Amino acid sequence: MSKIGDMLVMKKLVRLLALVPVFLAACVDTQIAANSAASSTFISTLPAGVLTIVAPYQDLTSVRIDPSDGCYVYRYVGPVETTFLPLRSVNGRPICTREAQTS
């Protein structure tokens, strides 16, 4: 190759390397901030009525009430992501603080 061709290749390589930090910054886990802010909203002591009907396989240390529907949800830490799932009774129904709205 000529010197001009080599310089063009080098310029492209430098530009590509300059963009690497930008691409890596896009991979930062934004759930960490969301989970730390939500941790203060967890219910420390569940009502006795909820404790008597809740299914045993759920994490009761990180329960909160979903404001959109009034149902209890718990934090599930899975192999890929952390999400909130409905807290269910032993018969499989979600446990809520108010009646479901029918439309």
pLDDT digits (tens, 9 = 90+) for 20-55: 777 666 666 555 444 444 445 899 899 999 999 999
Q: Can you read off the two tokens belonging to residue 29?
A: 């886990």
pLDDT-wise least confident of 5-19, 62-76, 84-98:
5-19
Domain chopping of the chain, boundaries = 1-29, 42-103
Question: How many Å apart are CA 33 and CA 70, to the nearest integer?
Answer: 24
User: What pLDDT score does 58 carry?
Assistant: 94
- The DSSP result for 75-101, as a single string, is EEE-SS-EEEEE-BBTTSPBPBSSPPP
User: What pLDDT score does 59 carry?
Assistant: 92
pLDDT of 11 strictly over 90: no
Span 62-84, average pLDDT: 93
